[in-house]
Homo-oligomer: A and B are copies of this chain.
Amino acid sequence: MKHSEGLEWAIHSCSLLAALPPGTCLPSKLLAEFFDLPEAYLAKQMQKLSQAGIVETRRGPRGGYGLARPSADITLLQMVEAIDGDAQHFRCTEIRRCGPTGVANRHYTRPCGIARSLWKAEAAWREELNKVNLADINRMGQAETPPEQIAKALKWFQEKLAGA
């Protein structure tokens, strides 16, 4: 069981947008350059975030992707579900009803204990992801990013955005 490869890229891109002055938009080309990622595949992740209403596209010479709402209103769960989907991890196919000893469907009144237990664990996972929002992630990022990198990034963005 694992996350899509693009999840790391998507969350880091959102975190970067949250760290820049409000209203800043970045085209996926610049995001890809910043993280040294293949642009076409990163663009797919940004489209997924856009479809989920987490980022939005703004047009024009300073256009690109921007956060669609305040970072405190974007949870980690929302970003994970935007990229990986919101389907349950365990898909129960009701094999208990199959085979030579299965009985009529009306005798099975609720999901079996196996499915319930697996879904309960998934719920605990979602609950934990729901406790963290993009503002939290941004705060951790600001506190932990090496000061040298913050200085380099500020300079890099000033040059790039001035040249746009």
Contact = CB atoms under 8 A, between A and B. Distances in A.
A122 B118 CA distance: 13
Nearest to A14: B114
Nearest to A32: B99
A159 to B, nearest CB: 10
Interface residues of A, number: 67
A99 B140 contact: no
Given A1-B89, A124-B127, A113 B99 contact: no
Interface in A107-132: 107-108, 110, 112-114, 116-118, 120-122, 124-129, 132
Interface of A: 1-5, 7-9, 11-12, 15, 33-37, 76, 80, 84-85, 87-93, 95-96, 98-103, 107-108, 110, 112-114, 116-118, 120-122, 124-129, 132, 136-137, 139-141, 144-146, 148-149, 152-153, 156
14 contacts: A1-B2, A1-B4, A3-B118, A5-B91, A8-B90, A15-B114, A34-B100, A101-B152, A102-B149, A107-B148, A110-B144, A112-B140, A113-B137, A124-B124
